[in-house]
């Protein structure tokens, strides 16, 4: 069972969803000059944060729907594999966990707007390749959709499919749909979702479904493990449940040893002028303040992407203007540390 090929096949069949991405690629994905200089200076987008699916092999074709019935723990529901892959009717394994989903979250608006609950899950927890929306201020969500629509929010990696899809949704969703979805997700309470582990070595992974997946086919330790280096390796705790879009199955984030202490110093003190304390905008417990989003317990891959996108100039909407000066001096190592520490906090 594998949802990843079906996702790529859908994008090929509905190429209109990728129009924005194609336009960006054709135009050279213009960055501000300082972003070009930064990338040229040796700090390109880290592949492990901007995971890009490999191209499908020549001759690959869509498989017929898999009507095998499947279940997940702690749920009385039954779906077929094909139903778990439906962009316009994603499975809701645990309906008692959340209020009734509005139509735009539960089914979207075919064929243009995916159900929000497909990518971000019915409980809003999201996955490493996208954003956790649970508990975000509704005005913040609305503003981000406006930034996607206006071109103020892009990705530093133009091949990053989830961002491309999000831009496609933003340009087609109407104001009522956006307001309704924002109200729904902002009312949800975020739950612990990421288990952070400091380590020197990590399981070897490969790219599948816009995220990193552990190589279970490895035969010995040398094939199974590798040094983590200056990376965050975020991967499902249980791949099968993640494939079935079980919103009770979270993720594990391996981070370099010492990251939490370094990240705590940067977050709390600014690291001797390297940045500024995050609590000034995001609250003393980093659980959000006014229109500023919470940082505690969020995907570290996502946090690194946002820090990098703001630094590169790919993301420069109204809500991020205050962040521009705070990220200027950050290295990838600093971003890793900040993201590791914030992900380790209780949301």
Distance CA 104, CA 298 (A): 24
Distance CA 221, CA 227 (A): 12
Task: Give pLDDT, residue 8.
Answer: 46
Can you name the CATH fold of 194-344? Cytochrome Bc1 Complex; Chain D, domain 2 (1.10.760)
Distance CA 104, CA 120 (A): 12
Homologous superfamily assigned to 4-186: Cytochrome c-like domain (1.10.760.10)
Task: Give pLDDT, residue 305.
Answer: 98
- Spatial contact of 249 and 127, defined as CB atoms under 8 Å apart: no
Q: Which residues are CB-contacts of 12 (< 8 A; sequence separation ≥ 6)?
A: none
What pTM was computed for the model? 0.88
- Spatial contact of 48 and 231, defined as CB atoms under 8 Å apart: yes
Task: Give pLDDT, residue 62.
Answer: 77
Residues of the chain with CATH 1.10.760.10: 4-186, 194-344
Tally of CB atoms within 10 A around 235? 19
User: At CA 259, angle to CA 44 and CA 275, rounded to 5?
Assistant: 65
Please identify every stretch of the chain with a pLDDT value under 70, giving residue numbers as ranges. 1-42
| DSSP assignment string, 194-259 | EEEEEESEEE-EEEETTEEEE-TT--SHHHHEEE--S--EEEESSHHHHHTT-TT--EEEEEETTH
- Spatial contact of 133 and 202, defined as CB atoms under 8 Å apart: no
- Spatial contact of 32 and 156, defined as CB atoms under 8 Å apart: no
CA 236, chain centre distance (Å) = 13
**DSSP code of residue 69:** E
């Amino acid at each position: 069972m594998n949802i990843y090929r079906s996702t790529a096949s859908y994008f090929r069949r509905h190429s209109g969803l990728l129009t924005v991405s194609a336009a960006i690629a054709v135009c050279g994905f213009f960055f501000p000059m300082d972003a070009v200089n930064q990338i040229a200076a040796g700090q390109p987008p880290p592949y492990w944060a901007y995971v890009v699916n490999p191209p499908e092999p020549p001759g690959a074709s869509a498989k017929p729907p898999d009507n095998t019935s499947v279940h997940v723990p702690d749920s009385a529901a039954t779906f077929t594999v094909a139903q778990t892959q439906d962009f316009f009717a994603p499975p809701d394994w645990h309906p008692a966990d959340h209020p009734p989903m509005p139509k735009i979250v539960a089914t979207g608006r075919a064929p243009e707007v995916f159900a929000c609950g497909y990518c971000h899950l019915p409980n809003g927890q999201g996955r490493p390749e996208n954003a956790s929306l649970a508990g975000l201020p509704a005005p913040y969500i609305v503003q981000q959709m406006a930034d996607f629509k206006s071109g103020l929010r892009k990705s530093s990696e133009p091949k990053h499919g989830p961002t491309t899809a999000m831009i496609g949704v933003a340009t087609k969703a109407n104001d009522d749909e956006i307001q309704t979805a924002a109200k729904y997700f902002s009312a949800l309470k975020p739950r612990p979702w990421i288990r952070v582990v400091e380590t020197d070595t990590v399981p070897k992974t490969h790219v599948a479904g816009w995220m990193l997946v552990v190589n279970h086919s490895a035969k010995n330790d040398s094939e199974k493990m590798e040094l983590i280096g200056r990376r965050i390796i975020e991967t499902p705790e249980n791949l099968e449940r993640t494939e079935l879009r079980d919103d009770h199955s979270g993720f594990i984030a391996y981070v370099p040893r010492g990251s939490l202490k370094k990240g705590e110093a940067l977050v709390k003190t600014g690291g001797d002028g390297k940045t500024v304390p995050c609590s000034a905008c995001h609250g003393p417990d980093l659980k959000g303040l006014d229109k500023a989003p919470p940082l505690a317990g969020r995907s570290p891959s996502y946090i690194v992407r946002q820090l990098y996108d703001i630094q590169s100039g790919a993301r420069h909407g109204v809500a991020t203007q205050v962040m521009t000066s705070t990220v200027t001096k950050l290295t990838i190592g600093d971003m890793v540390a900040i993201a590791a520490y914030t992900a380790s906090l209780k949301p």
